[in-house]
Homo-oligomer: A and B are copies of this chain.
């Protein structure tokens, strides 16, 4: 058994991710996964007992990078705006490398929301930091650092502007009259654009911000 280079197991997992993303969980064919991995169906079942189990692994993998980073950002220090900026930057970077992920994840999450619980989320140490973050937003509003609004709307807007461009790409390309290359460029400049937009929308001019 090799240890350093890529194993067949990994080749299968990578192929499975691509095929699941392309075709959805029902649409994915085990034969297609085997072909894409460059191995045969027998070996596929030699390593993974069935489609459902394979899907579970791929699905949880999709969060393995995302969730811990999110937890760190919102548990850590920093002002609301600093956390938002760190979130937008981090998530965008992740999505630019794996643009198909959100469609896949949100799609399956809508079909079986519970899976999110039993997966990576439940394995995280400590409570989710969202309650603290929502409170922090409210405090900064009270202190007059940011404009008063429903903290959940703010958070919804931030996440929408970050994630949606990767889900609505086919439709947005039509509406914005750009081709794939131009769209890709739009996405690389997205972080700045989002942050300017958000800051204009919520930042109040006070003596004590940078």
Contacts and interface: CB of A to CB of B under 8 A. Distances in A.
Contact of A197 (B106, B157, B175): B157
A168 B177 contact: no
A22 B111 contact: yes
Given A26-B27, A174-B121, A201-B197, A163 B168 contact: yes
Interface size class of A (residues with CB under 8 A): 35 or more
A164 B175 contact: no
A177 B26 contact: no
Nearest to A192: B153
A204 to B, nearest CB: 10
The count of identical subunits is 2
Q: Does more than half of chain A's interface fall in helix, strand or loop, or is it mixed?
A: helix
A153 B197 contact: yes
Contact of A168 (B24, B100, B159, B174): B159
A47 interface: no
B201 A170 contact: no
Contact of A149 (B23, B134, B171, B196): B196
B160 A130 contact: no
A122 to B, nearest CB: 12
Given A23-B111, A111-B23, A156 B176 contact: yes
A96 interface: no
Contacts of A194: 153, 157
Contacts of A111: 22-24
A179 interface: no
Given A107-B107, A177-B130, A164 B160 contact: yes
20 contacts: A103-B106, A130-B176, A131-B177, A134-B176, A134-B177, A147-B200, A149-B193, A150-B189, A153-B186, A153-B190, A153-B194, A156-B164, A156-B172, A157-B197, A159-B172, A160-B161, A160-B163, A161-B161, A164-B164, A200-B200
The 6 A-B residue pairs with the shortest CB-CB distance, nearest first, are A26-B27, A160-B164, A201-B201, A113-B170, A153-B193, A164-B164
